[in-house]
Amino acid sequence: MHLYCNVNCCPYDGLCGNGLAESPKLFLGKSVRTKALGVVAAENIDAGEVLGQYLGEIEHCTERPSWPVKVVINAKKMGGLMRFANHSCEPVAKFVEVANGRRTTVVVATTKRIRRGQEITVDYGDDPWFVCRCRLDKCCHRDIQSQEDP
């Protein structure tokens, strides 16, 4: 887990560079690969950069009692730009849990250098609650997808 600054603990009101903010290097656009709405790099982005916070409604996780996680972030109805990061079986970014004292949040950080115009993708995980549309030869979910899936 990583630490971050906010207005409650930073003498610089969270503007020291360790605060969380959405990267100005991104925009909401259409994926060239899938034609779906997604997050796209407006300029080159280095590996290891935090792109933004994954925001949404906090829900208690009751349907999966075996999960070690007790809450989930549901970004279906609301959230920031990162809610539009699409799944890929070969992602260029990942979800990272960060904390400051008792406050914990999730951010999206790059795992490799991203080129201007490239879509920001993450791995949604192994639980097949979604239809994988990554269309990659290395698709991890190909065996559970139906040919009739949209």
Q: What is the domain partition of the chain in residue ranges?
A: 22-139
Q: What percent of the chain has pLDDT over 90?
A: 28
- Distance set, CA 31 to CA 15, 82, 131 (Å): 32, 14, 16
Does 122 have pLDDT greater than 70? yes
pLDDT for residue 89: 87
Closest listed residue to residue 59, CA positions, set 50, 69, 49? 69
Mean pLDDT over residues 116-123, rounded?
Answer: 93
Closest listed residue to residue 89, CA positions, set 39, 57, 123, 133? 123
Mean pLDDT over residues 57-63, rounded?
Answer: 73
CA distance 52 to 61: 24
pLDDT: which is higher, 14 or 74:
74
What does the pLDDT look like over 99-108, one tens digit per residue?
Answer: 777 777 888 9
pLDDT for residue 136: 77
- Classify residue 66 as exposed, middle or buried by CB count within 10 Å of its CB (0-12, 13-18, 19+): exposed
pLDDT: which is higher, 51 or 65:
51
pTM equals 0.75
pLDDT: which is higher, 9 or 125:
125
Considering only the C-alpha atoms of the chain, give the largest distance between any 2 of them, rounded to a whole number of Å: 56
Assigned architecture for domain 22-139: Beta Complex (2.170)
CA distance 66 to 80: 29
Does 82 have pLDDT greater than 80? yes
